[in-house]
């Protein structure tokens, strides 16, 4: 049995109140999508991922992927569920109809992805990375490459990977050494070793399409000399059938803290046949098409793991009896204790705030691609660029925090593997590292995103938050939200102006991580406040709506104040970070 129930009503509520899904489905690109069927679609997806996909989570953790004789084997339970996933078409919801997809907006796809990820994060990484490969090939592949690979990738008959990291080239991708040498027939011979390749080998799909970064002869040093290549596990014949095995060897898989069901591979390319994507030396530009989508998906992983941990903790708190609550003579369910209630409300508030942030960012991708006017597309592009590092870093940090709180709710039983709470914490810990560590996201925010439009992009977003004040002021019941949001906004405005005025890059970067946490915390309060304005109208007659209001008020009074405490760290500069000599860091006499 699964212990995960997809929160379909909240997903639909966010799509309505935050995303404005009707305005997206009204765009010409989505004229085939009936907005009336969205809730029914989510209900059906919720049944599949709750009842079919989620039960694989525990076995994936306990059995894990295994490696022997150069091949990876996934848990026995994965194969039939993978086939059902493909047959159901859930992986093709946002795929292009030209290549067999259903052509739904990314914002709706976010809900499906959340369900799949919460159901089994390790398993979900295979279709997630395949989706990123699809985005890259759609944007930068040739017509021949799109025709050859996309239909099989959209259906997940084949899967895709992102092959960047090498032993000496992690976050510093420009240090990679993998070589690409041209062949007489227009193909390339790819040679090198890549590490940390998620789902780099497995036994679920008929083929694996690796998207590999490599250097061509005479390429410039650093990131300017990187090219992108398609390197299939099996070569593909002209008629689309699978041909001979390519010279790609799986050397080993990693033994990891979590996500045991996801094989993380070391791959060796030995004069493997590859196909250039686009132009030489533009691979990093192409890779960011894939990586930026992956960053939003990783942020969504933080949301998904938080919701899974929250649901388990709440269920446990309702049945675990210990101590007596005030006014009771009998042992009480621990959910009746104030401190446990505080922990559960924190988990709930962060989870619902993350959902709104992620969905809004993904909706920006829809508008960036398909809005009618150029001005609307540019505004959506700017919004997506601003929100991506925040969504990735803030949501994954909160995912780890919420999973940790979930263990605390369980008490000593949370530290025991059999309850399952520990798995969420172990699985969550990779997320702040994935797709550019959260420190890199924070640096991206302060160095690249805050200066966009000479500061106008971030200023416009903060003005948008400020514009909610009038609606909050019209409702005395939301006064505590209004005050807390206004005060937090003021602090973030001042801190943003201070950082944008700094001349020293090192001083800016020194405060980047606390600044990103400030900004993300403000975003969470803003999105929940918007939902509270809508939910309050039905709160008298609907306990679910009343809970939305209470959650927003809890966030405003218990969590939003963190913004104030982070301002000093965000603006203090780098002097104290370098005040101690390297020799005095760590063990010293």
With beta carbons less than 8 A apart as the criterion, state whether 293 and 227 touch. no
pLDDT given at position 289: 80
Which positions of the chain have pLDDT values less than 50? 1
Statement: 158-280 belongs to CATH 3.40.50.720:
no
- Cα 381–442–105 angle (5° rounding)? 30
Q: What are the residue boundaries of the structural domains of the chain, listed by start?
A: 8-154, 158-280, 449-581
Q: Which two tokens stand for residue 304?
A: 């998904």
pLDDT given at position 201: 98
Residues 6+ apart with CB under 8 A from 253: 65, 66, 67, 72, 201, 263, 264, 265, 266
pLDDT given at position 331: 86
Which residue in 499, 509, 491, 353 sits closest to 441, CA to CA? Answer: 509
Q: Cα-atom radius of gyration of the chain, to the nearest Å? A: 24
pLDDT in tens, 268-316: 999 999 999 999 999 999 988 878 888 999 999 999 999 999 999 999 9
pLDDT given at position 323: 85
The conformational region for residue 123 under phi > 0 = left, psi -120 to 50 = alpha, else beta, is: alpha
**H-type alpha helices, 371-478:** 374-410, 421-428, 438-444, 456-467, 469-473
CATH topology of domain 8-154: Butyryl-Coa Dehydrogenase, subunit A; domain 1 (1.10.540)
CA dihedral (59, 62, 65, 67) in degrees, to 10, reads -140
With beta carbons less than 8 A apart as the criterion, state whether 273 and 285 touch. no
pLDDT given at position 1: 37
The conformational region for residue 34 under phi > 0 = left, psi -120 to 50 = alpha, else beta, is: beta
Question: Cα separation of 248 and 250, whole Å?
Answer: 7
pLDDT given at position 2: 54
158 three-state secondary structure: strand
**H-type alpha helices, 102-216:** 106-119, 121-140, 143-154
Question: Cα separation of 340 and 563, whole Å?
Answer: 24
Catalytic residues: 435
Please tell me the pTM assigned to this model. 0.96
With beta carbons less than 8 A apart as the criterion, state whether 133 and 198 touch. no
With beta carbons less than 8 A apart as the criterion, state whether 190 and 271 touch. yes
Report in angstroms the alpha-carbon separations of 403 from 2, 297, 304, 338, 409: 18, 18, 10, 19, 10
pLDDT given at position 589: 65
Q: Which two tokens stand for residue 223?
A: 């990131």
């Amino acid at each position: 049995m699964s212990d995960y129930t997809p929160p379909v009503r909240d997903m639909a509520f966010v799509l309505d109140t935050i995303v404005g899904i009707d305005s997206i489905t009204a765009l010409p690109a989505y004229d085939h999508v009936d907005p009336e069927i969205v809730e029914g679609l989510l209900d059906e997806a919720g049944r599949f991922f709750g009842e079919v996909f989620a039960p694989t989570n525990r076995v994936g953790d306990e059995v894990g992927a295994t490696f022997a004789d150069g091949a990876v084997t996934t848990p026995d339970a994965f194969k039939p569920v993978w086939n059902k996933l493909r047959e159901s078409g859930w992986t093709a919801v946002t795929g292009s109809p030209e290549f067999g997809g259903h052509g739904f907006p990314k914002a709706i796809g976010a809900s499906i992805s959340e369900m799949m990820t919460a159901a089994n994060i390790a398993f979900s990484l295979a279709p997630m990375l395949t989706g990123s490969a699809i985005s890259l090939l759609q944007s930068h592949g040739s017509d021949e490459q799109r025709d050859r690979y996309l239909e099989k990738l959209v259906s997940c008959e084949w899967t895709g990977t992102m092959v960047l990291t090498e032993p000496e080239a992690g976050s510093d991708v420009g240090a990679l050494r993998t070589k690409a040498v041209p062949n007489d027939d227009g193909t390339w011979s790819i040679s090198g070793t890549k590490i940390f390749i998620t789902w780099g080998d497995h036994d679920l799909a008929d083929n694996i399409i690796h998207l590999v970064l490599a250097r061509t002869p005479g390429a410039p040093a650093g990131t300017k000399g990187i090219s992108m290549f398609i390197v299939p596990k099996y070569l593909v014949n002209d008629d689309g059938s699978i041909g001979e095995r390519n010279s790609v060897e799986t050397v080993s898989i990693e033994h990891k803290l979590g996500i045991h069901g996801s094989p993380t591979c070391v791959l060796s390319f030995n004069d493997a046949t590859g196909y250039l994507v686009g132009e030489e030396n533009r691979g990093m530009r192409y890779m960011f098409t894939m990586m930026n989508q992956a960053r939003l998906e990783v942020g969504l992983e933080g949301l998904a793991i938080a919701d899974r941990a929250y649901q388990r903790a709440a269920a446990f708190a309702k049945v675990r009896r210990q101590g007596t609550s005030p006014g009771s003579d009998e042992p009480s369910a621990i959910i009746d204790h104030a401190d446990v209630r505080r922990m559960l409300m924190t988990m709930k508030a962060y989870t619902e705030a993350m959902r709104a942030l992620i969905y809004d960012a993904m909706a920006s991708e829809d508008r960036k691609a398909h809005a009618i006017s150029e001005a609307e597309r540019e505004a959506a592009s700017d919004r997506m660029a601003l929100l991506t590092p925040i969504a990735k870093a803030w949501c994954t940090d909160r995912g780890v925090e919420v999973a940790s709180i979930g263990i605390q709710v369980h008490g000593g039983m949370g530290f025991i593997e059999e309850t399952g709470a520990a798995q969420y914490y172990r699985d969550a810990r990779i997320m702040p590292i994935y797709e550019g560590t959260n420190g890199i996201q924070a640096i991206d925010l302060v160095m690249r995103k805050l200066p966009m439009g000479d500061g106008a992009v971030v200023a416009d977003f903060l003005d948008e938050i400020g514009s909610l004040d009038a609606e909050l002021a019209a409702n005395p019941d939301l006064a505590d939200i209004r005050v807390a949001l206004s005060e937090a906004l003021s602090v973030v405005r001042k801190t943003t102006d201070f950082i944008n005025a700094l001349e020293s890059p090192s001083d800016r970067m020194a405060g980047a991580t606390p600044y990103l946490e400030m900004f993300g915390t403000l975003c969470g309060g803003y999105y929940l406040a918007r939902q509270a304005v809508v939910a309050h109208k039905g709160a008298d007659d609907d306990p679910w709506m009343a809970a939305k209001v209470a959650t927003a008020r809890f966030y405003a009074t218990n969590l939003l104040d963190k913004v104030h405490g982070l301002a000093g760290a965000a603006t203090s500069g780098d002097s104290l970070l370098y005040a101690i000599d390297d020799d005095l860091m760590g063990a010293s006499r």
